[in-house]
């Protein structure tokens, strides 16, 4: 199925009833395949606001579908994560990763990563350095502050997987 044919922009009457339930109330949605359960999860994520949600899924195919739906609503597509990754690596991020040059074995500053996506540029600081940088209020002559609701993220490359986690900074 093509992604653009999958995501519905006009929920039917029964789906609208689900969307009327307050976001603070837990609910279980049951239905047959193709009944719109995943669409409702995406619309409920939209109701949360401020990208303070994570959708955990069990298949890569479902992850791709939900990323499409989140994008259609203007939500952060990196807020959907595969279950294995959520358990072992943290939330995933996508975009072009840059780091600063440094005089060490690798020639890289591994404490700061810069993510450039289609939407913006984000700065991630190593978990080991985060508290110190926030306490100082600066990094490399730039003033920094924590972001509301920071999520732990991990960076995986095809040839580099490391048990190293990062937090988002506001620069």
pLDDT in tens, 134-170: 899 888 888 888 777 666 666 555 445 455 666 677 7
Cβ(163)–Cβ(110) under 8 Å?
no
Q: Same domain for 70 and 113?
A: no
Domain boundary among 42, 64, 88: 88
Per-residue model confidence (pLDDT) at position 77: 83
Flag residues of the chain having pLDDT under 50: 1, 158-159, 161
Q: Same domain for 105 and 79?
A: no
pTM of the model: 0.56
Domain count, the chain: 2
* Distances, alpha carbon 56 to alpha carbons 1, 15, 22, 76, 164, in Å: 21, 21, 21, 14, 21
Measured distance CA(94)–CA(116) in Å, rounded: 9
Q: Same domain for 72 and 103?
A: no
Q: Same domain for 81 and 105?
A: no
């Amino acid at each position: 199925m093509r992604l653009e044919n999958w995501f519905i922009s006009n929920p039917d009457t029964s789906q609208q009833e689900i969307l009327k339930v307050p976001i603070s109330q837990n609910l279980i949605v049951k239905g047959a395949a193709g009944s719109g359960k995943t669409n409702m999860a995406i619309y409920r994520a939209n109701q949360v606001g401020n990208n303070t949600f994570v959708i955990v899924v069990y298949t890569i195919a479902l992850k791709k579908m939900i990323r499409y739906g989140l994008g259609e609503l203007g939500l952060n597509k990196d807020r959907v994560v595969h279950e294995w990754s959520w358990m072992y690596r943290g939330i995933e991020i996508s975009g072009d990763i840059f780091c600063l040059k440094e005089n060490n074995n690798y020639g890289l500053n591994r404490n700061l990563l810069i993510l450039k996506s289609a939407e913006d540029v984000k700065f991630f600081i190593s978990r080991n350095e985060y508290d110190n940088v926030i306490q100082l209020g600066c990094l490399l002559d730039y003033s920094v502050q924590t972001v509301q609701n920071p999520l732990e993220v991990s960076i995986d490359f095809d040839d580099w997987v490391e048990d190293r986690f990062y937090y988002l900074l506001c620069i």
